[in-house]
Amino acid sequence: MKLIKQKINEKNLPPNPDIIKLIFAKTEVQDYENLSDEELLKERERLLKILQEEEDDSGKNKAQN
């Protein structure tokens, strides 16, 4: 007998406060309340890029060990 369907569980995990603090510490912009929507979107993309780079770097380090 072969399994045809696979049950997929999705959990909504809250963000890690330590990671959020790290991101805000690394960012150059500190006053997010006064940014326009377009500026906020650009900042979001920049932060996502930083996170992706950090994730890629940690993945490379684990692969080397």
pLDDT of 51 higher than 60: yes
Q: How many CA atoms lie within 13 A of 29 on its CB side?
A: 14
* Confidence tier at 7 by pLDDT (50, 70, 90): confident
Return mean pLDDT, the chain. Answer: 77
Domain ranges of the chain: 37-65
Biggest CA–CA distance in the chain, Å, is 60
pLDDT of residue 59: 67
For 23-50, the pLDDT digits (tens) are: 777 776 667 777 788 888 888 888 888 8
The answer to whether 46 and 24 have CB atoms below 8 angstroms apart is no
pLDDT of residue 50: 86
Q: Please, where are the H alpha helices in 1-65?
A: 17-26, 37-64
